Amino acid sequence: MNRGPFIFLGVLIILVYSWVAVVYKPNQQVGQLVAVLDPDQGGRLPRQIQGAADHGKEVYQELGCVACHTQQVRIAAGMDIERGWGSRQSVARDYIDQDRVLLGRKRLGPDLSNVGERRPDAAWHLLHLFNPQINSPGSNMPAYSFLYDTREIVGEASSRALEFPEAFAPPVGYEVIPTRKAESLAAYMLSLKVDYDLNEAPKSLEAMADELAVALENAE
Partner 1 sequence: MSLFKNIFSSLRPELSGDAENRERERSLDGAIRFPVLTLIKSALVWLVIATVFGLIASIKLHSPGFFADCPILTYGKVEPLFWNTLVYGWLFNAGLACAIFLLTRLGGRSGFSATFLTISIVLWNTGVTLGIIGIMAGEQLPYAWLEFPPFVGPVLFIAFVGIGLSCLLTFHARVYRSSYASQWWILAALFSFAWIYSAAQVMLVHFPAQGAIQALINSWYAENVFGLFVAPLAFATLLYLIPKTLGSHVIGYKYSAHAFWSWIFFASISGVSDMAFGPIPVWVPSLGIMASFGLLLPTTTLSIQFLSSLFRKFSVIWSSATARFLFAGSILFLILMYYKIFGSLRGSLASTQFSLFDSGVDFLALFGFAGMVFTGAIQFILPRLLNKELPSPTIVDLQFWMQLIGVILVSIGLISGGALHGELLNESIANSLAITKTLSSGFFLTTLGMLFLFLSSVCGLFTYFMIILSSRVEAEQNTDLISEAPELEYTAP
Give CA–CA dist 6/4, Å, rounded. Answer: 5
Residue 201's SS3 state is coil
The residue within the footprint of partner 1, chosen from 51, 103, 205, 206 (CB under 8 A), is 103
Q: Where are the alpha helices (DSSP H) in 47-150?
A: 51-62, 115-118, 122-130
What is the C-alpha R_g of the chain?
23
Q: Of 87, 90, 114, 184, which lies in the binding site for partner 1, with binding defined by CB under 8 A?
A: 90
> With respect to partner 1, which residue has the nearer C-beta, 109 or 170?
109
Q: Are 192 and 116 in contact (CB under 8 A)?
A: yes
| Residues 15 to 74 in contact with partner 1, rule: CB under 8 A | 15, 17-19, 21-23, 26-27, 29-33, 61-68, 70, 72, 74
Question: Cα(first)–Cα(last) distance of the chain, in Å?
Answer: 74
What's the Cα-to-Cα distance from 199 to each of 33, 55, 65, 75, 94, rounded to whole Å? 13, 30, 30, 15, 12
Q: Does residue 142 belong to the site contacting partner 1 (CB under 8 A)?
A: yes
Tell the smallest beta-carbon distance from residue 24 to partner 1 (Å): 10
Work out how close the CB of 155 gets to partner 1 at its nearest, in angstroms, rounded to a whole number.
28
* CA trace torsion 170, 175, 180, 186 (10° rounding): 50
Q: Which of 2, 159, 199, 218 binds partner 1 (CB under 8 A)?
A: 2
Cβ proximity to partner 1: between 17 and 120 the closer is: 17
The residue from 50, 51, 108, 214 that contacts partner 1 (CB under 8 A) is: 108
- Give the number of residues in contact with partner 1, rule: CB under 8 A: 74
CB of 214 to partner 1, least distance (A): 27
Q: Which window, 36-44, 138-146, 153-161, 165-173, contacts partner 1 (CB under 8 A)?
A: 138-146
Residue 174's DSSP bridge partners are 152
Backbone φ and ψ for 175, nearest 5 degrees, come out as -140, 160
Please report, as residue ranges, which positions from 176 to 205 form the binding site for partner 1 (by CB under 8 A): none
Smaller CB separation from partner 1, 208 or 212: 208
